[in-house]
Amino acid sequence: MKLDRTIRYQADSDRDFGRQVMAVPGCERLKDCIQCGTCSGVCPLSIYMDHSPRQVMALTREGFKKEVLESRTIWLCASCYACSVECPRQIRITDIMYELKQRALRDRVYPKGLPTAVLAKEFAGMVHRNGRITESFLVVLLYLKTNWLEALGQWRLGLGLVRKGRFPFKLDAIRRRAELRRMLDPEPDDTSATAPPTDRRTP
Ligand code: SF4
Ligand code: SF4
């Protein structure tokens, strides 16, 4: 039988991770956290989280990247901002949660079957590809990637929506998608990404 160590040592951490997060505009004040636990106390969802908001702040600051990015906490955060309002050090905890979610998506370490994580990934991917979302496609993708059996139980509702034209099968997209992608993923030295567009024929 393999025994896993259940506590983490400082040597397991990636100090760069904490520094990188605190370098993001809006996340700088994380360094001032006094671990008072107010954020955990006011969070309406902390009882469902694997790490409380206070713990996520401490783990992030100390560079425990894996523990934070693989945590369900960041995906259970409902962005109610109660923690940010009450924090005595004015730490923007909700914004830090957003930053952690983005990093988890980028590193592909989000909990694969968790609906909120899957929804965030598919939503962002669709906006990135098409410039806007198509709710019908998003709902189908969400069910397929989380619980497709449950979708079968919703067939009556789906059929009703299709009949009323509320569930279109046509993917919605903006015309100049290439320009959008250049804005979202500019090359490091591509200063033209923010310049006015010149090629009006871009699809
Ligand atoms: S309320 Fe603010 S200072 Fe207190 S533990 Fe949470 S983030 Fe840290
Ligand atoms: S913003 Fe997120 S972490 Fe903060 S109190 Fe609300 S649900 Fe909890």
Tens-place pLDDT, residues 107-141: 999 887 889 999 999 999 999 999 999 988 998 89
Q: Whose CA is nearest to atom 6 of ligand 2?
A: 80
Q: Is 142 helix (H, G, I), strand (E, B) or coil?
A: helix
**Beta-carbon contacts of residue 70 (< 8 Å; ≥ 6 apart):** 104, 109, 111
Q: Whose CA is nearest to atom 5 of ligand 1?
A: 35
Ligand 1 atom at minimum distance from 37 CA:
5
Tens-place pLDDT, residues 23-70: 999 999 999 999 999 999 999 999 999 999 999 999 999 999 999 999
Top mutation candidate among 21, 68, 87 for ligand 1, by most atoms within 8 Å of CB:
87
The CA distances from residue 154 to 88, 89, 114, 119, 194, in Å, are: 46, 46, 19, 18, 44
Please give the distance, rounded to the nearest whole angstrom, from the Cα atom of residue 91 to the centre of ligand 1.
7
Cβ atoms within 10 Å, residue 89: 14
Ligand 2 lined by 30 (C-beta under 6 Å): no
CA distance 187 to 198: 18
Q: Whose CA is nearest to atom 2 of ligand 2?
A: 77
Ligand 1 atom at minimum distance from 30 CA:
7
CA distance 97 to 24: 12
Q: Whose CA is nearest to atom 8 of ligand 1?
A: 33
Q: Which of 101, 127, 119 is nearest to 27 (CA)?
A: 101
- The per-residue pLDDT for 157 is 85
Go through the domains of the chain in sequence order and give each one's CATH number: 11-106 (1.10.1060.10), 115-190 (no CATH)
| Cβ pair 44, 78 in contact under 8 A | yes
- Radius of gyration over alpha carbons of the chain, in Å? 21
Cβ atoms within 10 Å, residue 70: 14
At 27, which amino acid appears? Answer: C
